[in-house]
Amino acid sequence: MGAQLAAAAGGLDFAPAQRLTVIGLCALTAFVSHRALAVFNDGVRPFLLDFVQGRTRRGATGAVSFGLSAGFVFGLGAPMALSSGVLNPWLVFLPTDVLGILAPRKWLAPVLGGAWGAVVVFGLKGANDAAHRLPVDFLTAMQQMSTPILFLFTLFPVLAVCKQFGRARGAVAGAVELVLVVLTMKLWPKVFAGSLAMAAGVLMLIGFAVARDLRERRDGATTDQDAGNETGVDDPMASLFSASAARLRQHLPLFMALGAGVCLLSQTHIFGGGEATSFLIAQGQYAEAAQVDFYRAFGFLPLIATTALASGAYGIAGFTVVYPLGYLLPNPWLAVVCGALVFTVEVLALSGIGRVLGRLPSVRDSSERLRSAIGDTLQLAVLFGSLLAAQTMGGGLGLLIVGGLYLLNEAMGRVVVRMAAGPAAVLAGGVLLNVLYWLDLFTPLTS
């Protein structure tokens, strides 16, 4: 795995077509963000309703976007790209959210977005080469993050089952996943060991949720609630949802272009939609990467749908189904067509999806549990991987510096968001260890 990741990290020298794809897509996403039609950051989307309705100014909305995005860009997006050699949405899309919202003119937004795309495709290679020439190569050390991220991420369905359906079913799901991981490692060593385990865990979670919803419907527990939803024609939230869905449908051609661009970027295999996915793409395991991002899509679908209907702003990657689709498609032209069709279906079906989610409370809750479990597992995995990287590059001193920076960030009220604090601490610790080396106060563990 280490050799594969090392080769991938050297793959930041993108081909001309790949560079044009990134630059063009960054220009488009900045333009869409400027129009308040879509943003990548789920936390920013609810604030766009006030902006669209004129209750807040562009500068204030841009400040919110920057505050919610900066830590992920520099603490997670950049380190993950440099260590894996694969781009990610935090590095590509979060900055274009900010630049698009802040741009005072419509024509300036795509210019700024394209400029950021150029920085990404041309600047990462130089930063990567410079870092690898340092006495303490902290980027190579950061590749230690791959194993804990990939294997601990496998457990997120178990956590979701335990939180929603209790410890007994959670223990059963955990046992099933453990058996499948061991069997996969033994029988199919070239396949990502967590593939079958995650599939089984997610299917168990969905099965439990559907069974609960059907049982409650049969017992009449939700009859009154459903009747109220169907007869509430004067419900102000229903009116707002309808207006938001109509606003998005009016700009369907723009969303078709957006879906085509995101799917095309995924098809180039220089982009991964998540932490685990980035390392799987780097290893050439595209089917496994598609599987992982498909499960993530299920976890985030209700959040994206409800915030889109409430704010009138969609997600830059939609329901993120275009990620796994792009990984698996054989050529870029097919990716463009399929991406446009997927976004067409998503935007047109948005109102219907919202109504269905309203009638399946347990399934909706399962998605929320999955999203929470993904965050919990990745927080632990990223922290553990960061400490492994710290030990690799600096032994006990590396652990002291990186662990100390992480704890200091916690004590200061999380200046850097917890998910990004570990990788950011590794970068800062790597720079500090190089300074100590130049001062003749530290000797690298490996020459």
Question: Residue 196: pLDDT above 90?
Answer: no
Distance between alpha carbon 361 and the CA centroid of its chain, in Å? 25
Count of domains for the chain: 2
Sign of the C-alpha dihedral, residues 62, 93, 376, 167?
A: positive
Domain boundaries, position 181: 154-225
Cβ(131)–Cβ(137) under 8 Å?
yes
Sign of the C-alpha dihedral, residues 315, 318, 319, 320?
A: negative
| Euclidean distance between the first and the last CA atom of the chain, given in angstroms as a whole number | 21
Give percent of the chain above pLDDT 90: 53
Does 264 lie in the same domain as 123?
Answer: yes
Last residue in a domain, options 184, 208, 225: 225
Give per-residue pLDDT as tens, 126-144.
888 888 888 998 888 988 8
Q: HEC string of 3-71? A: HHHHHHHHHHCCCHHHHHHHHHHHHHHHHHHHCCCEECCCCCHHHHHHHHCCCCCHHHHHHHHHHHHHH
Does 207 lie in the same domain as 249?
Answer: no
Q: In the prediction, which pLDDT does 446 show?
A: 61
Question: Residue 386: pLDDT above 80?
Answer: yes
Does 40 lie in the same domain as 98?
Answer: yes
In terms of average pLDDT, the best of 73-87, 173-187, 196-210 is: 173-187
Q: How far apart are CA 278 and CA 83, in angstroms?
A: 10
Q: Which residues on adjacent β-strands are paired with residue 398?
A: none
- Apex 397 CA angle, 396 and 402, nearest 5: 100
Residue 118 lies in a domain: yes
85 contact partners, CB below 8 Å, separation of at least 6: 5, 7, 8, 9, 10, 11, 12, 128, 282
Residue 446 lies in a domain: no
Q: What is the mean pLDDT of the chain?
A: 87
Does 394 lie in the same domain as 299?
Answer: yes
Does 209 lie in the same domain as 135?
Answer: no
Residue 445 lies in a domain: no
Q: In the prediction, which pLDDT does 250 show?
A: 93
In 3D space, the residue among 428, 420, 422, 387 whose CA is nearest the CA of residue 88 turns out to be 420
Q: In the prediction, which pLDDT does 132 show?
A: 83
Last residue in a domain, options 180, 204, 225: 225
Does 359 lie in the same domain as 250?
Answer: yes
The mean-pLDDT minimum among 208-217, 261-270, 311-320, 323-332 falls in: 208-217
Does 160 lie in the same domain as 243?
Answer: no
Does 204 lie in the same domain as 343?
Answer: no
Does 238 lie in the same domain as 187?
Answer: no
Burial class (CB in 10 A: 0-12, 13-18, 19+), 63: middle
Does 165 lie in the same domain as 121?
Answer: no
Instruction: Please state the φ and ψ torsions of residue 284, each to the nearest 5 degrees.
Output: 80, 15
Give per-residue pLDDT as tens, 140-186.
898 889 889 989 989 999 999 999 999 999 999 999 999 999 999 99
Last residue in a domain, options 177, 206, 225: 225
Residue matched to tokens 């004590």: 411
Give per-residue pLDDT as tens, 409-444.
999 998 888 888 999 999 999 999 999 999 999 988
Does 379 lie in the same domain as 283?
Answer: yes
